Structure 1
Amino acid sequence: MIEEKKKNILCVENLTIGYKIKKSNLVVAEKIDFSLGESQLVGLVGANGIGKSTLLRTLIKVQPSLSGRIKINNENLEEINALELAKKLSIVLTDPLSTANLSIYELVALGRHPYTNWIGKLSEADEAIISRALDLVKISDLSAKKCYELSDGQLQKVMIARALVQDTDIIILDEPTTHLDMYHKAYILKLLKDLTKETGKTILFSSHEIDLAIQLCDTMIVMTNEGVICDEPCNLIANGVFESLFPKDLILFDNSTGSFRVNKS
């Protein structure tokens, strides 16, 4: 049997990212090419200051690219208006929550905004989508609680549920495990992996948890000083990509275990 080829959700072609400063450009990274298929968990990793946040901001149309092309479902990102983009792409950022007095249900329901009428009235279909999202991230029992009553881990699940009810093909998260302990870092990333299987959505997240990303991701985007590489974790390991990610005087990558260790010599 021939396996059906999955369609590409996000395509990046010869992209240059950075900042326009007066009459010149400050290039952060260039010649970026990758395609992400449906139902994939994708980790964006690299050293501090390498440009992960700049790349994410460019992908979500918060920051203009310097050159190149970004396509979502074969449509050029720059040609998609804000309302239509909200139906194609949902985001989870690390910004402080400004709606802490809302209940969990109310906050998650905000994800239906692109589909509701001008007064924001929820239909029965909207309510069913919200209920399913709460079930998927296992917070249905918390729906009446206020956001300020939650732990960081619980709140992160709420934000993921809000992205789910937005019903987009791709969800992009910026550092979703920030402020979480080791157990909850693994829990959130495993949850994202499960969601790609249960919903068919493509989920792209940036993270410093490279060891966890190697274990859980279908694809990884690795930003280095030499360029941006996108491939399956096993191929990245075989090609020595992680070995050059950090200075070897302190951090070494062990190909046999697929993890980093401290250089004690």
Structure 2
Amino acid sequence: MTTKLAGYYQQAYASESKHFNQCFYCGCEATERDFCPPLYMLQSIIDLGEEAEFISIPACYECFALLHNERVLTIDGRVTKLKKKLSTKYAKALRIYHMWHESELHDMSDEFVHSIKAGMKLGAEAAERLAFQGYSYATEDASVTIREKRAEFDVQGKVFYDFKDALNYCINDLQVDRTEFYKLVVEDYNGDFNRALSQYRHRHEKITAANDADSLIKSFAKQHKQNSDFVTRTVKHFINKDPSLTTEGALEQLYNNYIKK
């Protein structure tokens, strides 16, 4: 039955010899064939009349296993799904690879250094697999040309071709906090550095504004011998009534309404 169903698929092969026996999804050695859609889902897809590409393509065992249960009916869709799964599976190693540098490991315990170096090696391999763009392939009916694209990461108009280089630029030149910004750019904005920078700055402007307001309130309370909790509550009350008020404006109202008299 499986052999009969497999007849629905066209086998895809790399167009260039350098890609023979290479996983289409990540570039590792291909040991399997990924069926698009998965072979065991084929009958239900036929019964439902769903459109699919019906192609089998070279894959490594890990990519094959990660995609085995995915009801994704196009090769492009399976590439996208696979990259997300690899990113999730190797998130910790990728974080170590992107966040740590060999030069930072001096004077640390041998056990810690060994652990970090292992994470950096695994993360580097995962990053290389994620960056792999696939290759041109041919089936019985057609040839599909994959144009190799270099990943680009725009940081305020400055273009980087490596995620780690772009991240280091933000950390070293734009002075962002390494841990906080990494979470923003990877987890919240999927590699969009400009959106992550915008959100990072917005957060820190709010923190700075809150700290400045707190300092103003404490200074005001001390100068006019007022309870600081009373001043804080009153300032919040005035600002809630009139959101256009600044902390300075609210303190001025407080002085004129309750203290000056």
Relative to its length, the structure with more strand (as a share) is 1
Normalised by the size of structure 1, how large is the TM-score? 0.23
**Which has a greater percent of helix?**
2
- TM-score, with structure 2 as normaliser: 0.23
Pick the structure with greater CA Rg. 2
